[in-house]
Structure formats: C-alpha cells, structure tokens
A and B are shown apart, each in its own frame.
Chain A
Amino acid sequence: MSTTPPLPGHQMPHEDYLNATYGIRSWLLTTDHKRIALLYLGSVTVFFFIGGLLATMIRIHLLTPTGYLVTPETYNKLFTMHGVAMIFFFLIPSIPAVLGNFLIPLMIGAKDLAFPKINLLSWYIYLVGGSFVLYSFATGGLDTGWTFYTPLSSIYSNSAVTPAVIGIFINGFSSILTGLNFIVTIHTMRAPGMTWFRLPLFVWAHYATSLVMILGTPVIAITLLLAGLERMFHLGFFNPALGGDPILFQHLFWFYSHPAVYIMILPAMGVISEIIPTFARKPIFGYSFIAGSSIAIAVIGFLVWAHHMFVTGESVYAALTFSFLSYLVAIPSAVKVFNWTSTLYKGSISWDTPMIYAFGFIGLFLIGGLTGLFLACLGLDIHIHDTYFVVAHFHYIMVGGAVMGYVGGLHFWWPKITGRLYPEALARIAAVTLFVGFNLTFFPQFILGYLGMPRRYHTYPPEFQVLNVLSTAGASILALGYLLPMLYLTWSMRYGKVAGQNPWPATGLEWKTDSPPPTENFDVTPEVTWEPYDFQNRPDLGLTAGAPSLAPAHGDD
C-alpha cells in the first residue's frame, strides 16, 4: 500500500447545487440533472431494500430441505417480486439514472442534459410505475416469475398480475426517456474540443446502454401491454386455446430482456473503465477498443435472445445460430477485461476503495461471463437449464458485476456528489466484506445447479443442505456489506472530510469543477485540449510525471 501525502486543507464551495435553493419544492420541481440523480438515488435505494428483504426471506426459507418460512405459493411470490423489484426498479435505473444522470453533463462539459424537464418527467414516471408495482406486491403479490410467461401470467395466475404489468409498462417510458436524453445530450451538448474520441469511456458505455434502452424497451412495453390486455379482456394473442402463440411471447419478451442485461452491465463497465486508470495512474490501454466494444456488446446483444429458449421449442438451426451468436458476445467482453488488465500492467496501483470494487468486478465478471459460455453451449445448457447454475451465473453478472460497479462508482464519485470523503478504512472493510459475502452466497449455487437443483423450487433433497446453508450464511455477510456503505456514506454527507475539486486525482472534466459542483456545473464553459486519461501531460492534476507514489490523500487513515 502506498504512503499517503498530506492533503492540503480544502473548503466547501460557497454556493453549490445542493444549497443554491432550499425547500421541498426546489427538489420536487428541479430540472437540475444533479438533483434528479439524487432523487433517483433515494428511490432506487428503496427498491433495493424491498428486493433485498425478499431475497433474505428466500434464503431463510431455503435453510432446510423442506422449507422453513413460507408456504409454496408465498415462495413463488417471493422470488418473483424479488426479481421484479431488483431488475426493473433497481438494476436498470441504478447506474444510468443515478451516476449517468449526475455525471454525463459534467463529463462532457455541458450545463445540463439536453431535455431537463423530460429528465424530471422520467423520474415521476418511474415513481408512478413503481407505485403500481408496489400496489401489486401489497394486494396479492405476484407469482409468475419475473419473466411473466404466458399463459400463466395472462390466464392462470391468481396473483395481482395486472397492476404489476401496468407498472412495468409505465416504468419502461422512464427508461426510454432517460436513454433518449443521454443519446441526444452526447450528440449535441459536448463542450468545445470534446470530440467523440476524447469522451470518457463512461460516456461511451452510456451511449451504448442508451441504444439498448431506446431500441429494446418499447418492445417489452408493447409485449407486456398485449399480455395485460389478454388478461384483462380475455384476448388470445399468446393463448394457445384461442390460437395464440405462447412462444411468440417468449421471443418478444427476451428480445428486450436479454439486451436488458447489457443495460445493467455496460454502465458498470463504464464505471470500471474510469476507476482503473485513475488508481493505476496510467492512460487506459486500448481506449478505442473499449469504446468500440461497448457498442459491439449493445449490437450483438440484440441478436442472442433465443438462447433463453433452447428447451422451449425452436428449430435446431435457430438454436445453433443463437448459440453461435451468444459466444460472439464474449469477444467484446473479453476485449474489455484484457484492456483493463493491460492498464494495470506496470501501473502505479493504489488500493483505494473504488479500486477494490474494480478488482472485485473484474474477478466476478470473469466468472459470470465464462459460466455464460457454459450456458450458451447447446448440449450443456440442456443439462443445467433452469437450475441454480443459471441463478448463480446471472447473479455473478448482475450483483457481482452491475452492483459492484454501482457501489464502486458511488464511492468514486461520492466526493463529487457531496463534496466530502467517506471514511476510507471502513469503506475498504465494507468492500472486502461484500466480495467475501457475495462469493459465499453464490459460488455454492454453481455447484448446486450443476448437481441438478432446479431454480424456483421451495424444497430440495437433504443432500443439498450444506451448500444451501453456506449460501444463506454468505447472504447475511452480503447484507452487512450493503448496510455498511449505506450507513457511512450517509454519515459522511455531514461529517466527512472536505474533498476538494479532485481528491484522487482523476483526469475527467467532472473533476475540474467544484465539489459539489455549482448548479450550472462550470463557471465558464470548459475547452478540452487534452486527450483522455493522460496523466503525463496534465500538470494541473498535481502529479509529477513518473513519480512512484501517486496515491491520493484521505481523512481517516
């Protein structure tokens, strides 16, 4: 661990976006992208809590082979509501709507997103959609699985499917409008000198994410609308009894819901691409390849959906094609991992908290990605389809990947968002706790799945108990790992050490304004004359070129 040079005393800026205006109206009617990001931060945290609580109940239930806590029907509702809350209302908006919203205008030197009012509108749409879904949770729950397969969802389910479907339909427009806003902003709002290949990789990742949002989300919207109409008016689009085609529903559903995985992971990859060069003190290796691979993942991601349906009934040739295309996604993903690793090579690495999250991300994403290849393999997938192997795989991507990126990103930009540093020692402990808890929770599930334990069952044979108990034990450590940051980050908003403009220091444009930034982001529109991640030619960062110890200072250790 590198030694820490003393931090010169910093002052909080006199006026910033947080104290420019006061009162509840100034927040609920704000069009400032930074405040809207904080509104989102609060609301996605609520859904994270709800989803987390449901997950806890699932894990407690699975402590014993016969099930311990709830009835089988309730168990179905638990995992369904866990999935719906986490996917549609936490993971998909998490990094884009919180960090992306806050950072994209700052990173490209703009005063705001292109459509500030639409940005606020999309938060309200999120709230309305979320309320419908919570109403469904509270009045009968939801037991269809987050996939809403017909005809279970449209005919047979006795739970509150209709409000849930309406809620997710409405929430889709929040996602569409966010994506639209980002794409237009990145096209038209860049500061002078901020060319496409000077954009931070975080922005590239969000551009790719936004493409998926605007092209995929409308399809899930219309699909769920049709399923909802079918349930409400007994129509037959997806009902075989009336001549409809349930497999068509699955095609339309996965046409969005597979790319949706990339809505979750691409922004996290963007976060990691910012953290790694900062704490390796090196320009990122292969900038244009990382940027291009984001776009490639978004594009190829649209061509692989039917690998969710290898056992549902599709022609052998379709299955072969989708299997091949699914393997193809591994290439741009591997390009990223190799480039991050190459950036670390001979870097001046410091073990700050965001960097620990970045390392965690790379390791977990690697496992999640490689097991994805197992599942893309036609022969093997028949064996492990719908087992805990799949559950473990996508939790490695979504929790190990997306949530690690989200929490890491929150730490990395926390000084910019609040103007204050979090307690470093505690944060490192939390990061390690999260990593350990996560692996203990989900690694046993790979083994369980490979041995044949099916997902979504509320009981299991007694020989699987040891692994299930391990998984539940891991989940409790994981919960601690999430609670810690919530506590100390909240604490640091008031008591943390003042961060100054650029505590790490990092090279992005967002670090050249005050922390927290003024409402208009920059006092003067900046002009970009430097290349991205170029530590050597940036005397303004206060680093001496080639100096061995470049670690930033912190308050508490």
Chain B
Amino acid sequence: MHRTGELYGHFETLEQQKETATLGMWVFLVTEVLFFGGLFMTYTINRHAFSTAFGVGSNTLDLTLGGGNTVVLILSSLTMAMAVWSAQVGKVGWFGIFGKVRWVSIFLIATLVLGTVFLGVKVVEYKQKFDHHLVPGRGFDIRYRSEHPTASDNPKEIAAEKEELEKAFAKDPDINAHAQLYFSLYFGMTGLHALHMIVGAGLLLWLIKGSFAGRFTPQYNTPVEVVGLYWHFVDIVWIYLFPLLYLIDRHQ
C-alpha cells in the first residue's frame, strides 16, 4: 500500500484515516472487555461460592503496594492524556541541556516510567506470594506459619490474621483448595493485566521514537491518540481489579 506523507493510499483524506484508526481501537477495546469478561465471570461465580476463602485470600495481599500501584497507574493515565493533548497542540519547551524538546515526548516518557514502576511493584508482590507459599500447586498453604514471612511486621496485625484464619477454617474446612482458586484468579487476572501493560510499554517506546523523530504534529497525531485509548483502557481494568482482589471482605 503506497503512502503520501502520512496518508495511506486506500484512504481519501487524513480525517477518514483518523476516524478509521480511532474506531478500530474502540472496536478492539470492546473485544478486550469481553476477553476480561470471561475472567470476571469466573471470579464472580467463585467469589459467590467461596466468599470465606476469597476474603482470607484478600487479607494476604499488601494494601500499601496495591494502593500505591493504583495511584501510580492513575497518574500514568494523566500523563498519557497530557501527551495526547500536547501532541494535538504541538507544544514545545526548553529543557536545559537537552534544548528544545516536544512536550509530547516528555509526557510519553513519564507515562512509560510510571508504567514500568507499576510492573516493578507487581514483581515485588508476586515474589511475596512465592515466599508466602501462596502460589497454587503442591506447595500451596493458606495457613499461617511462623516460618512464613508475612506482609506485615506488626505483631498485632499478625495475631488478628491468625485468629481470622482459624475462624475461616471452622467455616470452610476445604479452604486450602478454595483459596487456591482465589490465587489462580489473582495470578490470572493481574497477570493478564500486566501482559497488557507490557504491550502498552512497547507501544509507548514506539511512540517515543516517533515523537523524537518529529512525527506527531497538530495535523497528524493519530497514533498517540489511539495508544492513549488503549492505555486508559488498561488502567480502567486495574481500577476494577484492585477493589475486587484487594478490598472486598478484607479483615471482616
């Protein structure tokens, strides 16, 4: 397909091309909603069936890391929105030794940094789950044991957790199996979300390269806008995941 400037040959105008790209991304996001939908359905059914086990599962998650990550991600949505805006108005600024730089590049880099921070924190959280024997499989053990390091060092909180676990065991003797379901879903949902973040980071790298090459102007900035849509969608998925996995039934 030949192309003239930024206009691909099978389009008549740049507006048509932009409308097409944007609609394409929206349709893609609709399929993404359905894709995550299957997981949310599985989550809902199991949460309803095993609310005790799921509550205990929530307790083991680190609220500080999860909450902090939520803030990081919302901030990244802000910087992404700023990137789209500065691409549209073509804002340029002076950055000391770097000289004249387009604001869109700055905001894209900020988004990428925040996204990477999020993924880094996720790695820390995953490692905790491995340390705490909370990965579904043979070594899984939801029971509190003194040799397992816990999320919190506060003895009061540890004691409360221990007591809560005993109650939960009384309610649901199969809790060790059911809590594995919770963690299967935890890893499935957050893992799929993280995969989307990694794809998003790749797209951001591509945009940053394009923006330093001066590709994005007030006349042509469709890629920034379309990737922006994707990025916001991935953030919104997290906005649902966070309360579902971290907050519901926490420390009844």
* B37 CB contacts on chain A under 8 angstroms: 218-219, 222
- Minimum CB–CB distance from B133 to chain A (whole Å) comes to 16
Q: Which of A113, A217, A226 interacts with B42 by CB under 8 Å? A: A226
Contact of B219 with A by CB under 8 A: no
Bound form: Cα–Cα A226–B41 in Å: 12
Contact of B160 with A by CB under 8 A: no
Contact of A529 with B by CB under 8 A: no
A209-248 at interface with B (beta carbon < 8 Å): 214-219, 221-223, 226, 229, 233-237, 241-245, 248
Bound form: Cα–Cα A373–B37 in Å: 30
Q: Which of B35, B174, B180, B184 interacts with A222 by CB under 8 Å? A: B35
B21-53 at interface with A (beta carbon < 8 Å): 23-24, 27-28, 30-32, 34-39, 41-42, 45-46, 49-50
Instruction: Establish whether residues A184 and B20, one from each chain, have CB atoms under 8 Å apart when the complex forms.
Output: yes
Bound form: Cα–Cα A111–B178 in Å: 55
Bound form: Cα–Cα A222–B196 in Å: 14
Instruction: Establish whether residues A252 and B30, one from each chain, have CB atoms under 8 Å apart when the complex forms.
Output: no
* B177 CB contacts on chain A under 8 angstroms: 236, 241-243
Contact of A176 with B by CB under 8 A: yes
Interface string of A492-534 (1 = CB under 8 A from B): 0000000000000000000000000000100001000000000
Contact of A465 with B by CB under 8 A: no
Interface size class of A (residues with CB under 8 A): 35 or more
- Minimum CB–CB distance from B1 to chain A (whole Å) comes to 5
* A110 CB contacts on chain B under 8 angstroms: 10
Among A113, A176, A188, A217, chain B packs the most CB atoms within 10 A around the CB of A188
Bound form: Cα–Cα A237–B41 in Å: 11
* A97 CB contacts on chain B under 8 angstroms: none
* Interface majority SS (helix, strand, loop, mixed), chain A: helix
Interface string of B175-196 (1 = CB under 8 A from A): 0011011001100100000000
Bound form: Cα–Cα A188–B32 in Å: 22
A102-138 at interface with B (beta carbon < 8 Å): 110-117
- Minimum CB–CB distance from A185 to chain B (whole Å) comes to 8
Instruction: Establish whether residues A245 and B46, one from each chain, have CB atoms under 8 Å apart when the complex forms.
Output: yes
Instruction: Establish whether residues A180 and B38, one from each chain, have CB atoms under 8 Å apart when the complex forms.
Output: no
* A218 CB contacts on chain B under 8 angstroms: 31-32, 34-35, 37-38
Q: Which of A112, A180, A222, A235 interacts with B28 by CB under 8 Å? A: A180
Instruction: Establish whether residues A233 and B49, one from each chain, have CB atoms under 8 Å apart when the complex forms.
Output: no
Asked, given contacts A112-B10, A222-B36, whether A188 binds B19 with beta carbons under 8 Å apart, the answer is: yes
Asked, given contacts A115-B24, A222-B35, whether A252 binds B41 with beta carbons under 8 Å apart, the answer is: yes
* A226 CB contacts on chain B under 8 angstroms: 38-39, 42, 188
Bound form: Cα–Cα A222–B38 in Å: 6
Bound form: Cα–Cα A180–B35 in Å: 14
Q: Which of A176, A229, A242, A244 interacts with B31 by CB under 8 Å? A: A176
- Minimum CB–CB distance from B47 to chain A (whole Å) comes to 12
Instruction: Establish whether residues A214 and B35, one from each chain, have CB atoms under 8 Å apart when the complex forms.
Output: no
Contact of A187 with B by CB under 8 A: yes
Interface string of B231-247 (1 = CB under 8 A from A): 00000000000000000
Bound form: Cα–Cα A476–B185 in Å: 49
Q: Which of B10, B137, B174 interacts with A116 by CB under 8 Å? A: B10
Instruction: Establish whether residues A237 and B30, one from each chain, have CB atoms under 8 Å apart when the complex forms.
Output: no
Q: Which of B1, B20, B41, B188 interacts with A31 by CB under 8 Å? A: B1
Contact of A183 with B by CB under 8 A: yes
* A219 CB contacts on chain B under 8 angstroms: 34-35, 37-38
When C-beta atoms are compared, the residue in chain B nearest to A251 turns out to be B41
* A216 CB contacts on chain B under 8 angstroms: 34
Q: Which of B31, B35, B36, B181 interacts with A237 by CB under 8 Å? A: B181
B57-85 at interface with A (beta carbon < 8 Å): none
Asked, given contacts A110-B10, A223-B38, whether A236 binds B181 with beta carbons under 8 Å apart, the answer is: yes
* A116 CB contacts on chain B under 8 angstroms: 1, 10
* B16 CB contacts on chain A under 8 angstroms: 188-189
- Minimum CB–CB distance from A225 to chain B (whole Å) comes to 8
Instruction: Establish whether residues B32 and A243, one from each chain, have CB atoms under 8 Å apart when the complex forms.
Output: no
Asked, given contacts A233-B137, A236-B181, A245-B46, whether A114 binds B24 with beta carbons under 8 Å apart, the answer is: yes
Which 9 pairs, one residue from A and one from B, show the smallest C-beta to C-beta distance? Answer: A222-B38, A218-B35, A111-B10, A112-B10, A218-B34, A235-B184, A188-B20, A218-B31, A184-B24
9 additional A-B residue pairs with CB within 8 Å, beyond A114-B24, A184-B24, A235-B181:
A188-B16, A189-B20, A218-B34, A226-B38, A226-B42, A233-B137, A242-B180, A243-B50, A248-B45
5 A-B pairs within 8 Å (CB atoms) are namely A115-B24, A183-B23, A218-B38, A236-B180, A244-B181
